[in-house]
Structure 1
Amino acid sequence: MKTSRALEALNFFMADVQAGIGPFLGVFLQARGWGTDMIGTVMSIGGIAGMLATSPAGALVDGTRHKRALIVVAGVMTVLASGLLLVSHDYWTVAASQVATAITGAAIGPAMAGITLGVARQSGFDRQFGRNQVANHAGNVVAAALSGWLGWRYGFGAVFALSAVFGVLSILAVVMIRSDSIDHQAARGQAQHESHESSTDAKVSGFRILAQCRPLLVLAAALAMFHLGNAAMLPLYGLAIVSAHKADPSAFTAETVVIAQAVMVVAAMLANRLIRWHGYWWVILLTFLVLPVRGLIAASVIHAWGVWPVQALDGIGAGLQSVAVPALVVRLLSGTGRVNAGQGVVMTVQAAGAALSPMLGGLLAHRFGYSAAFIALGAISTASLALWLCCGAGLRHACSIRGDPNRHAVDSTPSAF
């Protein structure tokens, strides 16, 4: 198999391994008597653990030549951690499972981006990463559909079994990626004139990189506020419908994921074309515009058919971001040798908002009801839109696809860090 096709196969199968029972966790725990406040809190515990692990994971990807092994280990540990939920539904067992899943999963995103950059190089990254994301979203569609049917037919244990099967297929896909096809210097976004030793010896924290690249800092902050409103929407909407006894828990949760991921496939396919036409700034702005509308619709239509507009909007935003954000980070940090550390720290700041979102959404829903929670989450997310517009002039220049791709990167010499 060609390396590019093996990468796409890995993204397809790894989609379910990364997600695990995640989309089904809310209804899984609700069926066992958990309230929305407890569900939101335990999800946030896992989110915080993942947030703290992501930046070191990105630095690890920059420094290691064993990126394939890192993905295998992370995938296996994620499946095992999810399996803990079959053993016990005790609060601290569930919390430990979410923490372990988040920590092991934190390395998968930067590792995927690093391998893709090492295989496709800077010139081919946008195209190959876009294809990877199409495969990833397609894998989520297939996995969610199978999980919904298996959960409805055989119970939640079958959802874990499916994740394990996808884990084995992911390992086979990793093996098909030839180790000599990965240029580890290119995988770090390292300048060609810089030696490997000088890059790895420089002790550069992801947060220092973030502080030295203002467009990267604005991007990370805007994404954090976006995900503070976004992350809780899907699990809360599923809980709202199921608690109203308007749908089967497994089937409806699968439907929410399938709709969103199917739209993400199309959005990811169009992302590169939109970036070429309008630039990164406009594409990311579009994703920020979608969320407040999504919150209003979710608050107004708490009915089984409402999942179609609510999740279609989620698919547009997430599908475009899944391609545009990593590609923009690669562009901004090209030549620094710290691309994956940059990816990691952006994901860390973004995860800070995502980690707090389920707890905030759960508490709002528990106290004021689901409709009020959706309106509040949509309103919070407008802060990302305001920040992106306020910094628009400088960001549009930094996010432009014309000219020298390295002109906005931070100084690539180790001493500058």
Structure 2
Amino acid sequence: MSIRSLQALCLTSFFIADVRDGLGPFLGIFLTQRHWQPDDIGLLMTAGGVAGLLATLPAGFITDASKNKRLILALLCVLITSTTLLLWLSQANAVVAFSQIVSGICAAFVGPLITGITLGLTGQKGFSAQMGKNEAFNHGGNFITALIAGGIAWYWGIGGIFILMTCTMLLTLIALTGIRSSDIDDNAARGLESGASAQVPDFSVLAKNKPLLITGLTLLLFHLANAALLPMLSMRVAAAPGAVNPGLYAAATVIISQLVMIPVAIWTAGRIDRVGYWRLIMLALLVMPVRAALAASSAAPLMMVPVQILDGVAAGVLGVVVPSFIVVLLRGNGHVNAGQSVVMLMQGVGAAMSPALTGMIAGHYSFATAFSVLSVIALTALLIWWRYAPLLSPPSCMETR
């Protein structure tokens, strides 16, 4: 494997962190400051999520079949940034909906493409270690840009975030040029063994894989509980007059979680062989009910510190373990990225519905009630994972028990 290409991949992971999610947690604040209501914001965020869902399965199959993953990723970064910049010009319903839909579709491709490029550069043997590095750099990118975004929001307001996103998009494109196309083995990138011939995409191969579907269902519930928690924390602060600067608060929530994710991602990559996939995913699932319960227990701005520390633990573990687990589950069938997209689709269902669900609960009842519901959903995900432990940790998955 090429050291130069792997280093460029790490830099790509660093810079793309700020590009992939558009305005991210600042979207709710940006629209709230322009007199949008929580339920309306939640519905539009859901529209973007649904669009992303429709693109998720095609994204995985296209990634498996693609011979130029770098170019596709570069074009997607440009599209995400361009459509997000439209929000600065207009906050009309149609413009916001268009921006979120296009961004959602493009973002659906980013995960499979990064995974495919990584697997194509390292092969299966070095995949987990490199994914740990990718995630560490990705979280580092989120941390640095959130730190900068907090300063921009403090001095110039939320509008300055658009400039920051444009700069990180340009830096992502530069980093991508450092990855040599010749270093990417397209067969290895889709999970085929050396010398194997490419296979025709066949969804039935994935639909019959029970461990894959159970993993997807568990993560669907996890993201249904998780996706809206951070935006709702920021919106609760923005809706409370005279509390703290909402832009600075949103940046602080991201900074705290990203600082935790960096060492957790590195730690996780080094523990997979010893601890095992099932136990590490169980650890992440245990965190979520506690996190939601803490958010429900108090509206004090400082409560976000333990809430976001726990978020860093869960996200740091899942970001490394889940892609590696899927690579092992689907080794040799040529559908690794399509399998990633199946799980991402199911995660996306939960993430897309989460803002609408919590937005309606918060709008009609209270933020505390919404967080309590999220905690119950997270407990359900935990119970499902525990129930199917024997199926999810067979010897074929190289699990250390």
TM-score if structure 1 supplies the norm length? Answer: 0.93
Deviations 1:8-31 (A, max 9, x none): 000000000112212100111111
Q: Out of 207, 212, 217, which is 1:211 matched to?
A: 207
Q: Out of 257, 261, 265, which is 1:260 matched to?
A: 257
Structure 2 counterpart of 1:169, which letter? L
Gaps of 5+ in 2: none
Structure 2 counterpart of 1:375, which letter? S
Equivalent residues of 2:60, 2:112 under 8 A apart: yes
Tell me the residue number matched to 1:98: 100
Equivalent residues of 1:150, 1:158 under 8 A apart: yes
Distance 1:290 1:388 in 2: 14
- CA drift at 1:145: 1.0
Gaps of 5+ in 1: 404-417
Structure 1 segment 2-151 matched on structure 2, within 5 A: 2-151=4-153
Tell me the residue number matched to 1:240: 236
The runs of at least 4 consecutive aligned structure 1 residues that moved more than 6 Å come to none
Structure 2 counterpart of 1:282, which letter? R
Aligned residues: 397
Structure 1 segment 296-307 matched on structure 2, within 5 A: 296-307=293-304
Label 1:390 to 1:141 Cα distance change in 2 as closer, same or farther (>3 A): same
Equivalent residues of 1:279, 1:400 under 8 A apart: no
Deviations 1:175-199 (A, max 9, x none): 0001111011100101334223xx1
- CA drift at 1:114: 0.2
Deviations 1:84-125 (A, max 9, x none): 101111122111110010111111110000000000111000
Tell me the residue number matched to 2:290: 293
Residue 42 of structure 1: SS of its match in structure 2? helix
Distance 1:398 1:354 in 2: 31
Residue 22 of structure 1: SS of its match in structure 2? coil
Distance 1:398 1:308 in 2: 39
Structure 2 counterpart of 1:220, which letter? G
Equivalent residues of 2:187, 2:196 under 8 A apart: no
> In the alignment, does 2:339 pair up with 1:337?
no
> In the alignment, does 2:190 pair up with 1:188?
yes
- CA drift at 1:398: 5.6
Tell me the residue number matched to 2:161: 159
Structure 2 counterpart of 1:383, which letter? T
Distance 1:264 1:321 in 2: 10
Structure 1 counterpart of 2:367, which letter? Y
Q: Out of 370, 375, 391, which is 1:394 matched to?
A: 391
Equivalent residues of 2:393, 2:399 under 8 A apart: no
Distance 1:241 1:166 in 2: 27
- Seq. identity, %: 40
Q: After superposing the two structures, state which structure 1 stretch, 99-108 or 184-193, moved more.
A: 184-193
Q: After superposing the two structures, state which structure 1 stretch, 108-117 or 151-160, moved more.
A: 151-160
Distance 2:202 2:105 in 1: 21
